[in-house]
Structure 1
Amino acid sequence: MEFSTTDLWIFAGWLIFMMGFGIWISKRKKQESAQDYFLASKALPWWAVGGSLIASNISAEQFIGMSGSGYVVGLAIASYEFMAAATLIIVAKYFLPVFLKKGIYTMPQFLEQRFDSRVRTGLAIFWVLLFVFVNITSVLYLGGLALQSIMGIPLIYGVIGLALFASTFSITGGLKAVVWTDVIQVIVLIFGGLLASVMVLKAVGGSFWVGLETLIAKAPEKFEMILHKSNPEYINLPGISVLIGGMWIANLYYWGNNQYIIQRALAAKNLKEAQNGTVFAAFLKVLLPLIVVIPGIAAFVLNADVNKPDEAYPWVLNNYVATGFKGLAFAALIAAIGSSLSSMVNSASTIFTLDIYRPMKFKNGGELSPSEDKHLVRIGKISAALSLCVGVLIAPLLGNLDQAFQYIQEYTGFISPGVVAIFLFGLFWKRTSTNAALLTVILSIPLSAAFKFFWPELPFIDRMGLSFLILSAVIIIVSLIENRSVDQKAIQLEKGGFRTSSVFNLASVAVVGVLAVIYVVFW
């Protein structure tokens, strides 16, 4: 990409500003306790919760990966975004009331309260490995690929630079610094992302709406939300399963049980703020395909000169974003990468420190002394730095990926069916036993791996759905054998505990209505 002097100043200025802001937030209030560092003192308002949810979610895997899938698949890949909007409403209404009442810091902590330390430790180890070896590494790789494609920076140097950028506000400042930098970055992310979409659509048809109509006319096959079996991409998005099958498992796991996402809601001032922030995020999710999928479809229609699909978004920035705006559009991409990286690093650190290290170091449990509390914060910072270092070492090895977004979804799907089954039954079925949950933890990855090896033609979304059903059956059978009545650690759900405000209800109806229209129009 040929950057003008203005573009370079905008881009460099953004990086310097965000790094400075992150450091300022980190130093503004000395972190005194684990709650300060890992849960931002539990003081987040709804708009910070919602903005940080989206900033943490949207990263290179969407800008680069989902645009690449849009280039190959089309609008159908946006099912991940649209179904996420519906899932956020379910999580806000039925999951958050229980989680916030329990006063937990992490998802594994809830599992110990509901089951025991074996279940907590087993899934904590899985999560740390998943964050470090799949999430952090893939985001670093995709970000490095963008820097290489757009600015000619060698991949390894781009990866190192992104890690240093994210470290300025993910290591020293904890969740508070991550969230408040997210709030600023989500504004640039959405504005800069929309800017790129508007400009490429103008290149296609002369204006935004005409450009969109032109895309539909020239590539109608790219606007089918439900793919037919004859479609070569059916293996990744198997027809109706995106509405009634494994897609729900992927989204319930990501939005309801995934530490680096749910941690924002756990840090809210109260339940109402957490729920309103979550439904605000649902609104933004409906908008996001315009930013992260449409550029990929436009690149296809414009016969983009790319070697692999994941180069579609950098190609759009290179060729169709006007001089003077390239710096802003690229700053939006780096903002997305930085916010997601910092969130993943913070959550990997949180789970390692509180769910793996703390039980080993302080075996007596209970309240910690101030010195012990500070010790945990120090361990959190060290583990955050180590997770970034591992990501930097592994990220360049992902160079053979074709569609990185699908890679992330598939390998996250090795653990998500078991996690969702454990949480759903643990929350809402009082007879669920500890051994049933533990057996599910043990079986989850081997079961998915067996399906992939012995039934490779099965779409991975269907694999997630089938694995969930089998693991649910395991939970039911083992629990019925072990528990003749209510489990002694069962969650006691209060009558009226799932009531929500009129604002939340109206917003939820609006989101679901928009989703229904989209699927009816582009069926």
Structure 2
Amino acid sequence: MINSLNWLDLSILALYAMVLIFIAYYVSREKAGHQKNAEDYFLASKSLPWWAVGTSLIAANISAEQIVGMSGAGYAAGIAIASYEWMSAITLFIVGKYFLPIFMAKGIYTMPQFLENRYDRRVRIVMSIFWLTLYVLVNLTSILYLGALAIEAVTGVEMTYAMIGLAVFSFTYSIYGGMKAVAFTDVFQVTLLVLGGLLITYLGLEKIGGDQGIVHGFTTLLETVPEKFDLILDPSNPQYQNLPGISVLIGGMWVMNMSYWGFNQYITQRTLAAKSLQEAQKGIALAAYLKVLMPIIVVLPGVAAASLIPGLSPSDRAYPEMMKLLPHGLLGIVFASLVAAICASLSSKVNSISTLFTMDIYKLIIKPSASEAHLVNVGRIAATISLIIALVVAKPLIGKSDQAFQFIQDFTAYFTPGIVLMFLFGFFWKKATATSALVAGISSILLSIAFKEFYPGLPFMDRVGLVFVICAVLAVIVTYAAGGKDQEKAIDLSGINFKTEPVYNAACVGVVVILVAFYSIWW
């Protein structure tokens, strides 16, 4: 039963839903006589402009686990959690300059497809199964659970029904149109997300500042919870295990970010769908600046909640509780922006799951001769089944964690060192073999489990960096034990253009300058 939204809020929410569905079906329509094929459905006919690429990257990334989860982490740890966002901005420029040109030159649909082109089919199949499992059991479940948590806190709707509602709504506008529907609705979704996030931050600071405005509210926040404004935590901080000091700048976070932004299907798929490499790089630059902005939208509300509503448990309730401070009308806008973020990210993951299953499992193993129309239908069925599975397992898997964002980071950290090594060696080391790639991937999991078991006091981010180094050494040993020869499938980098346009380079310098200023102020 809805207890916090009135008729005005519900009208805004209904208008949002209608506009979104209209956009999805409008952009997904096909010309007379043209039947949607695999490239249309999974890569939007490779027609996305830069602004759609950039906003879609953010929409795929910023969802419940970011808004609710990072606000909860901001409540517990302060702005130190913003390092995930700000280091991501720099990582995006690295991806755009050095990784994306290779992917686009290879004309791939999926990340496992690249691994087969560079190594062999074993690597492709193993990684396809891994990513499908991760996306369904971690990504989809976390989005549904945390999204439902926020909806329950604001409206009183029971979490199970909220999860079902999110899944059905996402299904309604994204399953038919595929990537094109997802990407163009993302433009609308991100606009609403930024507007709603800025509103809740503004009103939160205004409440703290009273009659003296938001600037006074921010300075009051600095005075009342100064411990929340340390970007680099020291070992005495209770959140040091999650954000271990200088490691957020020079350690395992780089490995985490490269894995997420460079080799993650539901992220990279957006850039692969761009009109050209240059359009994709412009989109990446836009996404980088939006990442710089994101802590104001997703972290600062959590810090404000620490001052306004102390004693919250779990801390992931910080953002939903802050939403309750909003007057009707504005509450409707912010609530619609939260639903937009959840559904945008949900549809992005579902589309990538359907792409992975269809192109890397079904077409590769089950029915290589499948027609284009058949592959599109298989993709829709795979998307539907993945949503159903996520609905069933969301509560048991995610509901036990106080800080779901940290749970997701900790879990994925078991795999990321091996994934990053597979790709980096595949790109830049001609001697790397398929066996060494598999050794890196399997060792990453085993070593991470061993460190977790026998050295539980080691912060997970430090563990990521250490495992990365050990796996690299093992992969090199295996490669040279097999002869250490250049591989037949090694990439010829001489035929790939890594030169970027001046506007891209200037944008990169701008982000670095901004971040140096931030870390200088709040070191």
Letter in 2 for 1:44: L
Residue matched to 1:19:
21
Q: What is the alpha-carbon distance in structure 1 between the residues aligned to residue 166 and residue 227 of structure 2?
A: 36
1:236 equivalent among 228, 231, 242: 242
Alignment of 1:124-523 (within 5 A): 124-206=128-210, 207-304=213-310, 306-319=312-325, 321-363=326-368, 372-397=371-396, 398-494=398-494, 497-523=497-523
Q: What is the alpha-carbon distance in structure 2 between the residues aligned to residue 152 and residue 24 of structure 1?
A: 34
Letter in 2 for 1:481: A
Provide, for residues 234-266 of structure 1, a one-character-per-residue CA deviation record: whole Å limited to 9, x for no partner: 000011110111100110000000000010000
Q: 1:32 to 1:145 in 2, by over 3 A?
A: same
Q: What is the alpha-carbon distance in structure 1 between the residues aligned to residue 310 and residue 17 of structure 2?
A: 29
Letter in 2 for 1:252: M
Q: Is the 8 A contact 1:67 1:297 kept in 2?
A: yes
Provide, for residues 263-321 of structure 1, a one-character-per-residue CA deviation record: whole Å limited to 9, x for no partner: 000011111001110011000000000000000000001134633100000110002x2
Displacement of 1:435 after TM fit?
Answer: 1.0
Provide, for residues 314-371 of structure 1, a one-character-per-residue CA deviation record: whole Å limited to 9, x for no partner: 110002x2222000001110000000000001111111111111111345xxxx6xx6
Deviates more, 1:303-312 or 1:425-434: 303-312
Deviates more, 1:436-445 or 1:512-521: 436-445
Displacement of 1:27 after TM fit?
Answer: 4.0
Q: What is the alpha-carbon distance in structure 2 between the residues aligned to residue 487 and residue 435 of structure 1?
A: 12
Q: What is the alpha-carbon distance in structure 2 between the residues aligned to residue 3 and residue 338 of structure 1?
A: 19
Q: What is the alpha-carbon distance in structure 2 between the residues aligned to residue 488 and residue 28 of structure 1?
A: 41
Deviates more, 1:169-178 or 1:24-33: 24-33
Q: Is the 8 A contact 2:30 2:36 kept in 1?
A: no
Q: Is the partner of 1:234 in helix, strand or coil?
A: coil
Displacement of 1:114 after TM fit?
Answer: 0.3
Letter in 2 for 1:385: T
Residue matched to 1:70:
74
Displacement of 1:28 after TM fit?
Answer: 4.8
Deviates more, 1:495-504 or 1:241-250: 495-504
Q: Is the 8 A contact 2:101 2:496 kept in 1?
A: no
Displacement of 1:26 after TM fit?
Answer: 3.4
* Long gaps (5+) in structure 1: none
TM-score by length of 2: 0.96
Q: What is the alpha-carbon distance in structure 2 between the residues aligned to residue 31 and residue 208 of structure 1?
A: 53
Q: Is the partner of 1:485 in helix, strand or coil?
A: coil
Q: Is the 8 A contact 1:155 1:396 kept in 2?
A: no
How many aligned positions are there?
A: 516
1:49 equivalent among 34, 50, 53: 53
Q: Is the partner of 1:225 in helix, strand or coil?
A: coil
Q: What is the alpha-carbon distance in structure 1 between the residues aligned to residue 17 and residue 400 of structure 2?
A: 29
TM-score by length of 1: 0.96
Q: Is the partner of 1:439 in helix, strand or coil?
A: helix
Q: What is the alpha-carbon distance in structure 1 between the residues aligned to residue 422 and residue 54 of structure 2?
A: 26
Displacement of 1:496 after TM fit?
Answer: 7.3
Q: Is the 8 A contact 1:440 1:474 kept in 2?
A: yes
Q: What is the alpha-carbon distance in structure 1 between the residues aligned to residue 142 and residue 133 of structure 2?
A: 13
Displacement of 1:457 after TM fit?
Answer: 1.4
Displacement of 1:174 after TM fit?
Answer: 0.8
Q: What is the alpha-carbon distance in structure 1 between the residues aligned to residue 493 and residue 227 of structure 2?
A: 47
Letter in 2 for 1:503: V
Q: What is the alpha-carbon distance in structure 2 between the residues aligned to residue 299 and residue 484 of structure 1?
A: 56
Provide, for residues 103-133 of structure 1, a one-character-per-residue CA deviation record: whole Å limited to 9, x for no partner: 0110000000000000011011000000000
Alignment RMSD: 1.4
Letter in 2 for 1:233: Q
Q: Is the 8 A contact 1:19 1:165 kept in 2?
A: no
Q: Is the 8 A contact 1:105 1:263 kept in 2?
A: yes
Q: 1:199 to 1:503 in 2, by over 3 A?
A: same
Letter in 2 for 1:267: A
Residue matched to 1:39:
43
Q: Is the 8 A contact 1:175 1:346 kept in 2?
A: yes
Q: What fraction of aligned residue pairs are identical, expressed as a percent?
A: 52
Q: What is the alpha-carbon distance in structure 2 between the residues aligned to residue 5 and residue 255 of structure 1?
A: 40
Displacement of 1:31 after TM fit?
Answer: 5.0
Q: Is the partner of 2:267 in helix, strand or coil?
A: helix
* Long gaps (5+) in structure 2: none
